[in-house]
Amino acid sequence: MDQQLSNRFLRLAVAFALIGMVLGYWMGSSRDFTASPVHAHINLLGWVSMALYGLFYRILPQAARGRLPQVHFWTALIGLLIFMPALTAELIGGPAWASFAHIGLIAGPTLTLLSMAVFALIVFRATGPRAATA
């Protein structure tokens, strides 16, 4: 039960790793690097961050209890799912996609930042003096 959140983050992490690496492979083989920032963010926010979240909840399963970790999961996932298409639209979409890109580049990163703020709270709560004596 306590490992469900960790499992979800780890599965997402490897899915984003595959997407990010396929994009990197495509960029290298086509020698078109326009989407480099998308590749970098999918790999770092999708693969690396999600894997770290998953491993954290694996090491401290008690930190996965309650509603806050669920908020953490959904803001991290939805944030990235808005952020990446918006960044792609900004880089290669042209004027037709400008409004979508603009709104998405506010909404996506806001959720992504919120997810990290929630995670910071969870980490402080799980590693503070009260947690150590519990």
CB-based contacts of 108: which residues, under 8 Å, 6+ apart? 79, 80, 81, 82, 83, 84, 86, 87
Q: Does 44 bind ligand HEM (CB under 6 A)?
A: yes
Of 68, 64, 89, which Cα lies nearest the Cα of 9? 64
Binding characters for ligand HEM, 80-109, by CB under 6 A (x = yes): ------------------------------
Q: Which CB sits closer to ligand HEM, 15 or 131?
A: 15
Binding segment (CB under 6 A) for ligand HEM, from list 4-12, 33-41, 85-93, 101-109: 33-41
Q: How many residues bind ligand HEM (CB under 6 A)?
A: 14
Which pair of tokens denotes residue 41?
């963010």
Position among 47, 56, 73, 119 found at the interface with ligand HEM (CB under 6 A): 47
Assess 72 for contact with ligand HEM (CB under 6 A): no
- The CA-CA-CA angle for residues 23, 27, 47, to 5°, reads 30
Site for ligand HEM contains 37 (CB under 6 A): yes
Q: Per CB under 6 A, does 52 bind ligand HEM?
A: no
Q: How far apart are CA 69 and CA 91, in angstroms?
A: 33
The half-sphere exposure of 5 on its side-chain side, counting CA atoms within 13 A, is 25
Question: Which residues contribute to the site for ligand HEM (CB under 6 A)?
Answer: 21, 24-25, 27-28, 33, 36-37, 39-40, 43-44, 47-48
